[in-house]
Amino acid sequence: MDFYVTLTGSVRRLTRTQQSRNERFIALLSRGYRLVMDAPALPLVRRLRIAGIALVAAWFLVPGLQDWIPVWVPFLAFAGLELQYLISGLRDRGTPRRRGRSPQETDISELGGEEWLEPALVRIEGEDVWLPVGGRSDEEVLELIEDARERLQRGEPAYEPQPTPAARPAASGSRRLLARLEGLAVVGALAFVLFVLLPDRGWDGLDESEQARTEALLSAEAGRIAGHEARVRCDAEGKAVGVVQHADGLAEIGGSNAFLTPDICHRLHRLAFASDEGSFSQTARAIAVLAHEAWHLRGERDEGVANCFAFQSGVELGRRLGLSEDTAARMMRQQLADNATFARAAPAYLVPGECRNGGRLDLDPQSSRFP
């Protein structure tokens, strides 16, 4: 509640509109102050940590995220956040907390204490004076005004601030230790998942017998399409295929040797030996790559034609690896539909116009299905 004092010292209430506006402002200010000073605020680092946990959990539970986000992204980001939390805690030990937008303890202390959360402008002896009226009755306000007038007449400040209580002590050593232990525990859990659990998810996580078993199966399937013995190797070292070569597969034209990336091999391993269809697009891509390289082994040099034949052979190949015929056909139709988009970056891989039902490149013109 605010007041305005005339020269004679009489108290006049503000208008109803002014009182309402001031009361709302004071209520909001007091409420914001209580939220900041009384309720435990959630630090930004902790909110980011919660978001990181949600991202990691979503990465495991939502298959679509695994298609778009590499495994190292959420873990590296989360581990970096935890390390920053620990390092900043050690570096800033003993320093005051960063000030926020709302009134802080130091602000209230510098301005005279909590009583100044509700100030009033009064006019005494021809001077405009601010006085704290928060929590005071009308009689106490009048006494405060008279005391201010006497002080001004003596040449003293109109109001002498009351001693303010000492600021709250910083967080105890046990709380700081608990926060650091919490950070260390999270970093340890991340390291365990990243270096112990996750290696089993990729091609390198398979033992040698499983890798050999997979390569033997892929070689046999490539030989079926090529019409002669073939040897498919999964190039874990990235010497023949991979990111550097911008290729998921490589094969000798009319020869016996073909190379696939570990990701392609692992996806086909999961499909054939674990009945895991995985991501629709990733599995479709893996089948198409194997069939494409098999057609090169058969002697086809043209990349676009090899793609056309691969999409058709991929239906039977996918069925032999564990898919239903309908699912395999839908996957190859998707590969054919996406071919024009992918071929923008590599025009040589664009299928010819005759790659259609009943066209010159139709391997089974008697069938109405294509591919």
The count of other CB atoms within 10 Å of the CB of residue 226 is 23
Least confident of 32-36, 208-212, 216-220, 294-298: 32-36
- Specify the amino acid at residue 305: V
Least confident of 12-16, 51-55, 336-340, 348-352: 12-16
d(CA 66, CA 43): 29
Pairing relationship of beta strands 127-132 and 119-124 according to DSSP bridges:
antiparallel
pLDDT given for residue 56 in this prediction: 74
Mean pLDDT, residues 220-229 taken together: 96
Mean pLDDT, residues 254-262 taken together: 95
pLDDT given for residue 7 in this prediction: 36
What residues pair up with 247 in beta bridges, in sequence order? Answer: 242
pTM: 0.53
Secondary structure (3-state) at 235? coil
Mean pLDDT, residues 212-228 taken together: 96
d(CA 36, CA 360): 75
In angstroms, what CA-CA distances link 79 with 85, 107, 152, 192, 256?
10, 36, 62, 12, 45
- Tell me: pLDDT of 286 over 60: yes
Least confident of 130-139, 248-257, 275-284, 321-330: 130-139
- Tell me: pLDDT of 256 over 50: yes
d(CA 264, CA 138): 82
pLDDT given for residue 309 in this prediction: 97
Predicted confidence (pLDDT) per residue in 158-186, tens digit: 776 655 555 454 455 566 666 666 666 76
Predicted confidence (pLDDT) per residue in 64-112, tens digit: 566 667 767 777 777 777 777 677 767 666 555 555 556 666 666 666 6
Mean pLDDT, residues 296-304 taken together: 96
Write phi, then psi, for 360 (nearest 5 degrees): -65, -25
Tell me if 5 sits within 8 A of 122, measured CB to CB. Answer: yes
Question: Chain-wide mean pLDDT for the chain?
Answer: 77
CA trace torsion 206, 212, 217, 220 (10° rounding): 160
Q: Could you tell me which residue, 13 or 199, shows the higher pLDDT? A: 199
pLDDT given for residue 189 in this prediction: 66
Least confident of 49-53, 224-228, 258-262: 49-53
Contacts of residue 106, Cβ cutoff 8 Å, sequence gap at least 6: 96, 99, 167
d(CA 330, CA 265): 21
What residues pair up with 128 in beta bridges, in sequence order? Answer: 123
- Tell me: pLDDT of 44 over 70: no
One DSSP character per residue, 70-137 reads -THHHHHHHHHHHHHHHHHHHHTTTSPPPP-SSPPHHHHHHTTSGGGGSEEEEEETTEEEEEE-TT--
Return the exposure string of 81-94: e unless at least 16 CB atoms fall within 10 Å of the residue's CB, then b.
Answer: bbeebbeeeeeeee
Least confident of 199-213, 269-283, 326-340: 199-213
Mean pLDDT, residues 118-136 taken together: 76
Pairing relationship of beta strands 231-234 and 257-260 according to DSSP bridges:
parallel
Q: Could you tell me which residue, 248 or 319, shows the higher pLDDT? A: 319
Structure tokens that stand for 263 in this block = 């990701």
